[in-house]
Amino acid sequence: MEERPDTAHDPEKPAVERSARGNGPSPSGGVLNDGLECALVADAIAGGRDAFQQLYRRYFRLISVMIFQKIPAAGDVEDLAQETFLHAWRGLPQLRDPARFVPWLLRIARRVVTDWRRAAARRRDEDRRLADAPADGGAPEGVIAAAEEQARMLAALRRIPDPYRIVLTMRFLEDLTPSQIANRLGEPDGTIRNRIFRALQKLERALRAEKDTRR
């Protein structure tokens, strides 16, 4: 059995981070069946780096998008996603049910974001100066309009609760079917379909509210 590295004290990070960092791998290239995914998780729990690399490639984009929806600093998203997987690697021995890997991973990502927000609050003066920096006046109007629309959508997504934001991310950015989402989250298919419907309603209301605040 391969020895699990202590990345908290070892400056050399796991091979999975070094090999995949910056590649932005997408997990949407096919959906593993439950048995194979559970086997991968079980192998990773036992210290299997190859299995963890496969899980990393499969879920890196999902975690990155979820984090992007929660923080204003897009440049920090990749680092926070990497940190999420480092915490997951170190914490795998505490995961008792391999079938719950995705919800467990999402909880880790939320904690990482919470820690980032606390640190950002301590640097609020610097963040305020960066946020107040003037925009490039030479940008074309179309580019500015597209950026404003993206900002409005992101702000609206931040207004809705995590369970609804997650299923919208998986449905429309990961292009997963409701059944695939249900398998990943370990919840009934009907529950996920209902949550997607309610999430779209909440997003529509959030978009209207965001539009009103910008008037």
DSSP 170: I
Each residue's pLDDT tens digit in the chain (215 positions)? Answer: 444 444 333 333 443 343 333 333 333 333 344 677 888 999 999 989 999 999 999 999 999 988 988 887 777 888 899 999 999 999 999 998 888 899 999 999 999 998 888 877 766 555 455 455 455 554 555 656 666 677 777 777 878 888 888 888 888 777 888 888 888 888 898 899 999 988 888 888 888 877 766 65
Residue ranges of the domains in the chain? 13-133, 136-215
Six-digit token string for 201: 């309603």
Rg of the chain in Å (alpha carbons): 19
* Whole-Å CA distances, 59 to 82, 186, 194, 206, 214: 11, 15, 23, 27, 34
Distance between CA atoms of 199 and 66, rounded to whole angstroms? 15
- pLDDT score recorded for residue 180: 86
The DSSP code sequence of 111-150 is HHHHHHHHHHHHTHHHHHHHHTSPP-TTS-HHHHHHHHHH
CATH of 13-133, one of 1.20.1600.10, 1.10.1740.10, 1.25.40.10, 3.30.1360.40: 1.10.1740.10
SS3 sequence of 36-74: HHHHHHHHHHCCCHHHHHHHHHHHHHHHHHHHHCCCCCH
Residue 156: count other Cβ atoms within 10 Å of its Cβ: 20
- pLDDT score recorded for residue 56: 92
Looking at domain 136-215, its CATH architecture is Orthogonal Bundle (1.10)
- pLDDT score recorded for residue 54: 92
- pLDDT score recorded for residue 215: 59
pTM above 0.85, yes or no: no
Distance between CA atoms of 91 and 14, rounded to whole angstroms? 13
Distance between CA atoms of 11 and 181, rounded to whole angstroms? 36
- pLDDT score recorded for residue 165: 86
Q: Which residue has the tokens 């609050």?
A: 121
Distance between CA atoms of 10 and 1, rounded to whole angstroms? 20
Sequence-distant (6+) residues with CB within 8 A of 184 are 31, 102, 170, 176
